[in-house]
């Protein structure tokens, strides 16, 4: 005779399997907001240094290869990291250029993806990343937990859903993303809720947000967890000024971006983007169309301070992340 407990367990497994299958069909977990770049779709990475191979630069250097493995372990973690690491190493040695390495490795991901891989790896990775960003965000905010108006750039509610309960939040809740929130399995996993959060404002190739979309001085807090490096250079000034316009004097801008201050770090961060997209099934040509204007944090700080923000000096890094992706706090002056 089958016990009720075993019957419930089997039913739960059925739902998990269904959810995992739907995730796979839906293309995996949501990626960052994308825009159209100017990089070529040829054999090498258009945004790579001298348009040479990021894969070979990292996996041909023992120290950089070991460091990149930490990214697979501590940040990415959508596949068994040792098997993915070995797959990339093997393909990097065998194929002649980044286009072929990317496509060949992508075509072989099924060899290393375990049963219910989305449930066993992708969903826990998303949950862990949400917890980490919530921890860092609350650490930066300190005791200043009263927030009248909040904007999150690049998600449909991924991170506010993780730390909202720790805030005294009122006023407008704005989610700026390329796509409006929906009810697909990916959307549900993204926001961790059946219900939509806040209101949607489209991210339109980083065009400035208008006063109709977000009123002047209506927000205490803006977060940008995807950084500014994907913005077309000719649009960044207008977009940043629109964020300043939406913030009240003394309002805070929280930005997460990489500290790309050397050629090695440029390669490391670029390859992290390549592997992230490769694992989500993104076509090589679309990967090439992704703008990647990496800067050092000192350059980013100088840029924002010239445009009406003041760096508070608070800066947090995720443990074990070799791409030096820092969460920073700026105040509107």
What's the CA gap between 42 and 54, in Å, rounded? 14
Cβ(33)–Cβ(226) below 8 Å: yes
Going along 99-246, which residue ranges are E strands? 146-153, 168-177, 199-202, 219-224
Per-residue model confidence as pLDDT tens digits over 24-83? 334 333 444 344 444 444 576 777 787 789 999 999 999 999 999 999 999 998 899 999
Per-residue model confidence as pLDDT tens digits over 75-109? 998 899 999 999 999 999 999 999 999 999 999 99
Architecture of domain 1-333: 3-Layer(aba) Sandwich (3.40)
Cβ(331)–Cβ(251) below 8 Å: yes
Secondary-structure breakdown of the chain: helix, strand, coil percentages, each rounded to the nearest 5 = 45, 15, 35
Q: What is the pTM of this model?
A: 0.85
Cβ(92)–Cβ(101) below 8 Å: yes
Per-residue model confidence as pLDDT tens digits over 16-38? 433 443 333 343 334 443 444 44
Strands 247-258 and 325-332: antiparallel
Domain boundaries, the chain: 1-333
């Amino acid at each position: 005779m089958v016990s009720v407990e075993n019957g419930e367990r089997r039913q739960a497994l059925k739902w998990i399997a269904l959810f995992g299958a739907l995730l796979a069909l839906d293309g995996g977990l949501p990626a960052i907001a994308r825009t159209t770049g100017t990089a070529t779709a040829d054999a090498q990475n258009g945004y790579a240094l001298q348009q040479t191979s990021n894969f070979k630069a990292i996996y041909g250097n023992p120290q950089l290869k070991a460091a990149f493995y930490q990214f697979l372990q501590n940040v990415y973690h959508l596949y068994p990291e040792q098997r993915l690491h070995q797959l990339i190493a093997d393909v990097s040695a065998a194929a002649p250029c980044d286009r072929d390495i990317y496509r060949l490795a992508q075509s072989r991901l099924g060899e290393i993806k375990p049963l219910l891989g989305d449930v066993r790896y992708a969903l826990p990775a998303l949950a862990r990343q949400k917890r980490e960003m919530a921890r860092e965000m609350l650490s930066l905010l300190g005791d200043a937990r009263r927030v009248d108006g909040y904007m999150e750039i690049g998600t449909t509610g991924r991170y506010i859903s993780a730390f909202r309960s720790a805030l005294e939040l009122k006023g407008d809740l704005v989610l700026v993303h390329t796509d409006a929130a929906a009810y697909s399995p990916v959307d549900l996993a993204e926001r961790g809720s059946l219900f939509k959060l806040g209101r949607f404002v489209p991210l339109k190739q980083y065009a400035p947000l208008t006063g109709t979309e977000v009123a002047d001085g209506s927000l205490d807090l803006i977060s940008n967890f995807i950084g500014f490096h994907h913005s077309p250079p000719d649009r960044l000034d207008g977009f940043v000024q629109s964020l300043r316009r939406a913030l009240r004097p003394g309002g805070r801008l929280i930005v997460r971006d990489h500290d790309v201050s050397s050629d090695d770090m440029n390669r490391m961060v670029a390859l992290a983007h390549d592997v992230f997209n490769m694992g989500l099934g993104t076509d090589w040509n679309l990967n090439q169309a992704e703008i990647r204007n990496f800067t050092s944090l000192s350059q980013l700080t100088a840029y924002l301070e010239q445009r009406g923000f003041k760096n508070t000096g608070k800066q947090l890094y995720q443990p074990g992340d070799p791409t030096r992706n820092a969460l920073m706090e700026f105040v509107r002056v």
